[in-house]
Amino acid sequence: MSPEPIPAGTEAILPPEENDVPALPPPTRWLLLAPCLALLLPAGTGLADAPPAKAIQRPMLVEVNLADAQRRLFQARLVIPISPGPVTLVYPKWVPGEHMPSGPLADLAGLVIRAGGTTLRWHRDDVDMFAIQVEVPSGATELEVTLDSLSPPPGTNSGFSAAASATANLALLSWNHLVLYPAGSDPRSLPVAPSLTLPAGWTASTPLVPLAGAGKNPGRISFQPVSLSRLIDSPVLAGSHLHEVPLGVVDGAPHFLVLAAETEAQAELRPEQRAAFEKLVVEAQALFGARHYDSYRFLTSISDSVAHFGLEHHQSSDDRVGGDAFVDAELFTASATLWSHEYVHSWNGKYRRPIGLATPDFQQPMKDGLLWVYEGLTQYLGVVLAARSGLQAQPTVLENIATEADDMEQHRGRTWRPLEDTAVAAQVLYPARHDWEAWRRGVDFYFEGTLIWLEVDALLREKSNGARSMNDFCRRFHGGKSGGPEMRPYTLDDVVATLADLVPYDWRGHFEKRLQATAKDAPLQGLEAAGWRLVYGPVRSAFQKAIETRDQQMDLRASIGMVVDLRLSSAGDLVDVVPGSPAFRAGLGPMMRLVAVNGRKFTGSTSSEQMLRRAVARTPAEPLELLVENAETFRTYRLDYQGGARYPKLEPIPGRRDLLSAILAPLGTSPSKKSP
């Protein structure tokens, strides 16, 4: 491992968060099996590794019971060491990685607070809804708190970790949903002793390290004490069809792909898929040069009944995909960058974190302005690592980049809202509706981030005659010394200084142009500097087809300017209409419902989808008339469109050096085999 120097200016700002948690030994492969608790424990996982005495008085007990997870009732019992007098307990409000105050407070139920066997009256603060006030009687040394989290049903897709998380066969536990902690205490050093009860026949996987022995309650798994921050950073995936697939020990740390599915068949991994995940770990190590976790788990829920998204943690990621995501090669391709993206976050987002997101507890507001680095660079590196690992074949990655670039081309809100504002306002834009997204803009710092960081990569390579690249940036900015989770905050100055150290250039001025200017077109300069350009042709790429199949939508924005919903319950709904497009000029708007195409009924079926595609392709030879239902009224709209079928793709620019293919090529560096 080559410990690259941390750029000047960042060394002094050491570690608010998770650095002070006790060092835990790297876990080996283990499985939790309830109720018989067959534990394969690593050596040295006993209490000897608990936090130092000065940091703890007594740990807070967090006992979570998932026995009722199948009917989506998660339960907890907390024992909180406390002193007599007035006390405020707080429920985690700002959720790391979600960048907004998304703690699912409305789903907190059954709250009872006791001291010495007496039930205490509690009051909610009438300004801060996340704060609960209680008077602790004299002589009491602890509070016993019982509470439930009402996990939402299938179909609840918004809210990230607060969305649908449990089915008859699996559940994802986010500890922050079931915790109250004393206001004013520091979650980074507040010790907790967690334990977990599972439904009979379920197993579980988590970065937490189980304690040896079953303890008094044979159905409960107890874990080594950790800080509250570390606990909330360590979700648990549990289920009746759960498999931990070892991906290899790289740089001394074991890695696992954990699959929990509705059926055994859905959790089957093909050899080429496993090989790509193994290569992902090796390529990430080659890119960053060090790791900042003791072990890493891709905690993957495979189900049509949970919400689909990814959430990063230091030592794991909560990755949720559809039921056929591994079975169907096309759907696997469509979701492949999910794992590489979330994995990159262990370095970019968890280890290095914008200062505005490095808040000391879960109650203080986060500042999202640097999400174009936190999420934008992660999106870029996620695409790069998908190519280098083989999670996506290189031609597919080019189609992926074309799709992201076109998505940004269609977002016309860039004319009024600069990219930086999509980051600053992320807490408003994540939950925003998708109708009029092309005009509102969404969380564009993801896909526009891909374009911006590709440009930075191309500039570094060009200006150094190929001697420097984003690979060097990653080693310097995210590398350092391998070890367990720690966090180093950064500012924009640190990003600029690291780049300038690699290649002298006005990076600050460059970013200001990309972030603060309004413009009509997406920033495609980097793509072109890398030797490729975004063009349009009549053939839909296999990648776009896969995405549309997964999302059950038709994306016709590049031709007539609209996205059509194909889901059974909402077939024909115009998900969005692009301002200035033929559909827009004809008078169409989002959430009108397409009923007929040139007099033929539109149902959302495969045949009616083809009918609409053919009708678009046949323009201008034939008219394109759409009968649309808008609230209580039907009306026919005639589109003035001559372009035929039109879908995005990349093509090489003749005579230009192909930097993109070089960027996407595996680094081929052998991983270091030495122990940390």
- Hey, what long-range contacts does 151-159 have (CB within 8 A, 24 or more apart)? 151/69, 151/72, 151/73, 151/74, 151/107, 151/177, 152/72, 152/107, 153/72, 154/304, 154/305, 154/306, 155/305, 156/307, 157/307, 157/308, 158/307, 158/431, 159/102, 159/104, 159/307, 159/431
* Preceding amide of 648 cis, omega within 30: no
**Residue nearer to Zn ion on the CB measure, 202 or 374:** 374
Give the residue with the Cβ less far from Zn ion, 148 or 375. Answer: 375
Q: Residue 319 Cβ, how far from Zn ion at the closest point, in Å?
A: 11
Of residues 345 and 388, the one with the C-beta less far from Zn ion: 345
| Residue 129: CB minimum distance to Zn ion, A | 27
- 375 or 420: CB nearest Zn ion: 375
Q: How many residues belong to the site for Zn ion (CB under 5 A)?
A: 1
Nearer to Zn ion, 4 or 375 (CB): 375
Beta-carbon contacts of 281 under 8 Å, excluding residues fewer than 6 positions away, are 247, 248, 250, 255, 296, 343, 671
Nearer to Zn ion, 375 or 421 (CB): 375
Over the window 645 to 664, marking each residue x when it contacts Zn ion by CB under 5 A and - when it does not, the resulting string is --------------------
Q: Rounded to whole angstroms, how far apart are CA atoms 152 and 659?
A: 46
Rg value, the chain, Cα: 26
CB of 312 to Zn ion, least distance (A): 6
Find the shortest distance in angstroms from Cβ 375 to Zn ion.
Answer: 5
Q: Tokens 């319950």, residue?
A: 569
**Closest CB to Zn ion belongs to which residue?**
375
Residue labelled with tokens 């759960």: 242
Closer residue to Zn ion, CB minimum distance, 375 or 472 = 375
Whole-Å CA distances, 493 to 73, 498, 501, 543: 46, 9, 12, 37
Kindly give the pairing relationship between strand 574-577 and strand 532-537. unpaired
Q: Given the complex with Zn ion, which of 189 and 378 has the nearer CB atom?
A: 378
**What DSSP character marks residue 614?**
H
Of residues 179 through 198, those in contact with Zn ion by CB under 5 A are none
Sign of the alpha-carbon dihedral angle for 589, 593, 597, 599 = negative
Site string for Zn ion, 613-642 (x = CB under 5 A): ------------------------------
User: Contacts with Zn ion in 56-85 (CB under 5 A)?
Assistant: none
> Quick one: DSSP state of residue 166?
B
Which residues in 528-587 contact Zn ion (CB under 5 A)? none
Identity of the residue, 233 or 375, whose beta carbon is nearer to Zn ion in the bound complex: 375
CB of 297 to Zn ion, least distance (A): 17
Instruction: Give me the residues paired with residue 132 across strands.
Output: 89, 124
CB 146 within 8 A of CB 108: no
Are the beta carbons of 178 and 147 closer than 8 angstroms? yes
Beta bridge partners of 122: 134
Question: What is the smallest separation between the CB atom of 258 and Zn ion, expressed in angstroms?
Answer: 19
User: Least CB distance from residue 351 to Zn ion, whole Å?
Assistant: 14
Query: Of 78 and 495, which CB lies nearer to Zn ion in the complex structure?
Result: 495
Name the residue nearer to Zn ion (CB basis): 160 or 507: 160
CB of 235 to Zn ion, least distance (A): 15
Lay out the site mask for Zn ion across 326-365 (x = CB under 5 A, - = otherwise): ----------------------------------------
Q: Cβ closer to Zn ion: 357 or 458?
A: 357
Q: DSSP assignment of 79-115, as one string?
A: EEE--SEEEEEE---SBTTTTB----GGGEEEEEEEE
Tell the smallest beta-carbon distance from residue 623 to Zn ion (Å): 44
Question: What binding mask, one character per residue, do residues 25-44 give for Zn ion by CB under 5 A, x or -?
Answer: --------------------
DSSP letter at 129 equals T
Measured from the CB atom, the residue of 42 and 489 that comes closer to Zn ion is 489
Q: How far is the CB of 446 from Zn ion (least distance, A)?
A: 7
Pairwise CA distance, residues 288 & 349, whole Å:
14
Region 364-393 residues binding Zn ion, contact defined as CB under 5 A: 375
CB of 569 to Zn ion, least distance (A): 29
Amino acid identity of 474? Answer: C
**Helix (H) / strand (E) containing 661:** helix 659-664
Q: Which residues of 37-73 are buried (b: 16+ CB within 10 A; e: fewer)?
A: bebeebeebeeeebbeeebbeebbbbbbbbbebbebb
Closest distance to Zn ion from the beta carbon of 8 (Å) = 28
Residue 251 or 375 having the CB closest to Zn ion: 375
Least distance (Å) between residue 380 CB and Zn ion: 11
Task: Tell me the C-alpha distance between 454 and 659, whole Å.
Answer: 10
Please, what is the minimum distance in Å from the beta carbon of residue 337 to Zn ion? 10
Supply the DSSP string of 143-158, one letter for each residue.
EEEEEEEEPPPTT--S
Report, in Å, the least distance between residue 426 CB and Zn ion: 11
- Helices 271-288, 376-389: crossing angle, 10 deg rounding: 130
Burial label, 19 (beta-carbon count in 10 A; 0-12, 13-18, 19+): middle
Alpha helices (H) in 241-328, listed in sequence order: 271-288
87-101 burial code (b ≥16 CB/10 A, e <16): bebbbbbbbbbbbbb
Question: What is the length of the chain?
Answer: 676
Comparison of 240 and 427: residue with beta carbon closer to Zn ion: 427
Q: In the complex, which residues of this chain contact Zn ion (CB under 5 A)?
A: 375
